[in-house]
Amino acid sequence: MTGVLPVALEEATKIIQALLKAGKEYVGVMKLHESVPDKRIREVASEFQGKIYQKPPARASVKRALRVRTIYYLEILEVEGRNVLFKVGCEAGTYIRKLVHDIGKALGCNAHMQELRRIRAGPFTEDSGLVTLHDVLYFYSKWRETKEIKFLRRFIMPMEKTLEFLPKVYIKDSAVDAICHGAHLTAPGIAYVETGIKPMDTVAILTLKGEAVGLGTAMASTEEILKATHGIMIKTERVLMPRGTYPKMWK
């Protein structure tokens, strides 16, 4: 497989678990073992959109238990003989190789995955700074020679970029260091929130400057948070900002 693979460095490794839950998008080639009419291929493929049951393949690193995954869309882009070019957007944890296998079974001819390329992982796409290992080596060498930060920025993005797919809660400066010490976020510490937050959603906690402070679980909806004057609104699950970055304003 080729394509987009986000790599976290140092403190940013703390957000990998959140990124793993983000949706993915792929393009691939499915090889049919027998010839099937184009119309039939498209009909069967459309049946695999929405929620599907899937058991991880034998070589998977997770327990082989039947589970539900969501296929947001599955487009057949081109059919040439027994080669089928497709594009799929799916929930994290979906095995595309198994999806192709199951489509082949449904077609009654069997199929296997010939090629696969991930074109999106959460907020990262092929157009948002994708680099090769050769690019990394080149820009790192240029930075070693010149010490100009612009070369590092060619392949290292701010940690906050990874959090773009999460709903956000912006907090007052007076609440930042408390969150950095693991405190839960109460209503008085919230400056404003994004719309669409529901209870139990994972949210990004940011400063008013847009700096990542932590990750948390919402205890209320956006509307309830805006009306609240006291009580825990966000349970802090993961602290991202080092303690002492903002002055201590709590007792």
pLDDT tens for each residue of 191-216: 999 999 999 999 999 999 999 999 99
- Measured between alpha carbons, how far is 28 from 97 in angstroms, rounded to an integer? 10
136 and 47 in a common domain? no
| Structure confidence by residue, pLDDT tens digits, 103-119 | 999 999 999 999 999 99
What is the Cα gyration radius of the chain?
22
Let me know if residue 108 belongs to a domain.
yes
Q: What percent of the chain has pLDDT over 70?
A: 99
90 and 28 fall within a common domain: yes
Task: Please indicate, yes or no, if residue 8 is contained in any of the structural domains.
Answer: no
Q: What is the pLDDT at residue 70?
A: 96
- Greatest CA separation for the chain: 72
Q: What are phi and psi of 86, to 5 degrees?
A: -135, 165
What's the pLDDT score for residue 41? 96
Same domain, 119 and 133: no
**Which is higher by pLDDT, 1 or 154?**
154
Q: Are residues 48 and 101 in the same domain?
A: yes
Please give the tally of structural domains in the chain: 3
pLDDT for res 10: 87
* CB contact at 8 A, 98 and 10: no
Query: Which domain range does residue 82 map to?
Result: 21-125
User: Taking 90 as the threshold, does the pLDDT of residue 249 lie above it?
Assistant: no
pLDDT score recorded for residue 167: 95
At residue 131's C-alpha, the angle toward residues 124 and 6, to 5°, is 40
Residue 190: per-residue pLDDT: 96
Separation CA 30–CA 109 (nearest Å): 12
Report the number of secondary-structure helices (H) and strands (E) in the chain: 7, 13
Task: Please report whether residue 247 resides in a domain.
Answer: no
The pLDDT score that the predictor gives to residue 62 is: 73
pLDDT of residue 250: 67
214 within some domain: yes
Tokens of 15: 């957000």
Exposure pattern of 198-207 as b/e (b: 16+ CB <10 Å)? Answer: eeebbbbbbb
- The reply to whether 179 and 153 lie within a common domain is no
pLDDT at residue 60 is higher than 80: no
* DSSP strand pairing (83-90 vs 2-3): unpaired
User: Is there a single domain that holds both residue 87 and residue 113?
Assistant: yes
pLDDT band at 16 (very low <50, low <70, confident <90, very high): confident
- Does a structural domain hold residue 244? no
Mean pLDDT within 93-103: 94
Residue 126 or residue 26, greater confidence: 26
**Does some domain include residue 246?**
no
Contacts of 111 by beta carbon, 8 Å cutoff, 6+ apart: 30, 31, 32, 33, 84, 100, 101, 103, 104
HSE-up (13 A, CA, CB side) for residue 1:
15
Give the per-residue pLDDT at 251. Answer: 65
* Within a domain: 1: no
Domain annotation covers residue 251:
no
Q: Over the chain, what is the mean pLDDT?
A: 93
CB 83 within 8 A of CB 89: no
Residues 77 and 91 in one domain: yes
Mean pLDDT of the 83-105 span: 95
What pTM, to 2 d.p., does this model score?
0.83
